[in-house]
Amino acid sequence: MSKKAILYSNTPPSRAQEKRFVDFLSKKYGESYSIVWKQTELPEGSFKLVVDSEVYDWSDEGRLLQFKERLSKLQFKDDNIIPLLKDAIEKWVPDIKAYEEGRVLTVGDGIATVSGLDNVCYGEIVVFSSGVRGMAQDLRPDEIGCVLFGDDSDIIEGSIVRRTGRVAGIGVSDEYLGRVVDALGRPIDGKGEIICDEYLPIENPAPGIIERQSVDTPLETGILAIDSMFPIGRGQRELIIGDRQTGKTAIALDTIINQRGKDVICVYVAIGQKASSVVQLVQNLKTHGAMEYTVVVSASASDPAPLQYIAPYAGCALGEYFMNKGRDVLIVYDDLSKHAIAYRSLSLLLERAPGREAYPGDVFYLHSRLLERSAHLNAERGGGSMTALPIVETQAGDVSAYIPTNIISITDGQIFLESDLFFAGQRPAVNVGLSVSRVGGDAQTKAMKKAAGAIRLDLAQYREMEVFTQFASDLDEATKRQLTYGQGLMQMLKQDQYKPYKQYEMVIILVVVLNHILQDIPEKDVKKVLRELLDHFEESYFEITERLENDGLLSDEDREEIIKVAKKFVEER
Ligand code: ATP
Ligand code: MG
């Protein structure tokens, strides 16, 4: 028995036309078809031929669609628009082309199941008749599950869904710098359209082993507690982890601000945050002159879960675009706990089996495939890098919960922020004992390495002694000195927001404090004296600061000189 194809047109086809269709179909599908004609209101000469789920559209609408597709593939620049358009119109010969259509079976909670899209692939974008886009996420034998990127109220059972043949992606170009966009790359800052050079899929395999080189250049955060003890290198992934309101975003923000003039492109991905916080953050970036080299990708708390789910991948694709051009990129994912939650709600709605903490089984892969895309590329690949600062929120300092342990094991170290420290006024509230940077050592300048010396050890000793001496009333002189020294160290690590230190400033501070020069300064004055001392160096010892900043080396003579000057300064004050 031959299969049936349905022909829609205004008037019935002639014998000759019918034969042409049958021949075309048997050639295309290798099977014999019979044509069933159905009358529809289409202009004279137009027809639609529907074979299973494929539609050959010869109506004006279909031709226009093809023309639009063709136009969208052209790359317009201001000066070539007229000749290109002329050329496109003259050369355009519409051909009969198949596209696939399916129908909505069920819809709700941002998920639609669709029947009929037999050839759709995982991650492909489909368009609903209301114009809303969706992404195929679940391929079952006779239906697919799609997540929706927009309002589902206009989608009803039976409405038409069309394949696009493209996986989810984001347009990329240099014009994104300074802009705020949503997870699909559409501008949301009201500054007009962004013209793209390329369209990149949001999911992209991570660079392989051969394509990488080891991390060897520092990415300075400007935060003393981090650069001295947990240095971050370009291409590294360093997790910022802590309870809510412990200054996680502040560290990422300060790092972005500190990249000013350092030729690093920054991408900040906001996932599931309040829209007002994102506005505030953009404002802060602007005030500190950091917006010109930064792109903000925002999927706020009110956006559908699918948009929150794809936002970090979209941001990563943007980062990769710059990395592949040989640039250094810093990307912040703020935060991945909310990302995991968005993915969990989406998975549960797609009826995937829940596992630990109700997260689906692939939640590790969710983040590992994202973070693995950060790399330091080798010279053949252009030598670019992408440094990732993922942020994770913990509950009551519990780092052993599911998502935190996953991400800790994927990243190259973590900066652990503690609310007790934060509320005691020790800000940034870095817990020195629990933080680590697993590749950073190579990515520290020689000067910093030499100056920082045994600071972690000193701090560890201080913490131990502090606990111990809480019970003792009278202490001997040596212990007292040790304690004041430790308190001085803690004071030194305090740093206000938006006040990044320069490299040479950090080196001077470290040399001065670690050599016990501020030993007799009262704890509350330490910060003030350090500031005055730095000003003193900047005014009168320009050569030293210049050498430190430019060469990244700390010679023994310079070190002695710094100690001498600082001693004199402290004595004379
Ligand atoms: P959330 O969990 O809400 O995302 P968070 O951990 O990202 O919070 P932030 O928003 O960065 O925390 O900081 C919380 C508050 O602490 C902010 O008001 C911020 O200005 C302040 N803060 C952060 N770091 C410092 C600092 N070093 N010195 C002074 N204030 C700071
Ligand atoms: Mg935050």
pLDDT digits (tens, 9 = 90+) for 327-386: 999 999 999 999 999 999 999 999 999 999 999 999 999 999 999 999 999 999 999 999
Secondary structure (3-state) at 467: helix
In tens, the pLDDT along 234-290 reads 999 999 999 999 999 999 999 999 999 999 999 999 999 999 999 999 999 999 999
Question: Which one of 70, 352, 369, 438 is the catalytic residue?
Answer: 438
Indicate which atom in ligand 1 lies nearest the CA of residue 253.
Answer: 11
Q: 427 CA to middle of ligand 2, Å?
A: 15
Residue closest via CA to ligand 1's atom 17 equals 247
Give the count of beta carbons closer than 10 Å to the beta carbon of residue 372.
Answer: 14
C-alpha–C-alpha distance, residues 304 and 109, integer Å = 9
Residue closest via CA to ligand 1's atom 21 equals 247
In Å, how far from its chain's centre is CA 185?
13
User: What pLDDT was estimated at residue 358?
Assistant: 96
Residue 74 has pLDDT above 70, yes or no: no
Q: 72 CA to middle of ligand 1, Å?
A: 44
| Max CA pair span of the chain | 111
Q: 247 CA to middle of ligand 1, Å?
A: 3
Q: 203 CA to middle of ligand 2, Å?
A: 25
User: What pLDDT was estimated at residue 89?
Assistant: 67
Name residues contacting ligand 1 (CB within 6 A).
242, 244-250, 393, 427-428, 495-497
438 assigned to active site: yes
Residue closest via CA to ligand 1's atom 25 equals 497
Ligand in nearest proximity to the CA of 417: 1
CA dihedral of 126, 130, 131, 132, whole degrees rounded to 10: -60
- Averaged confidence pLDDT in the chain: 90
CA dihedral of 109, 111, 116, 122, whole degrees rounded to 10: 180
Indicate which atom in ligand 1 lies nearest the CA of residue 393.
Answer: 2
Higher pLDDT, 35 or 508: 508
What is this structure's pTM? 0.86
Indicate which atom in ligand 1 lies nearest the CA of residue 428.
Answer: 27
Using alpha carbons only, give the angle 529, 535, 537 rounded to the nearest 5 degrees. 105
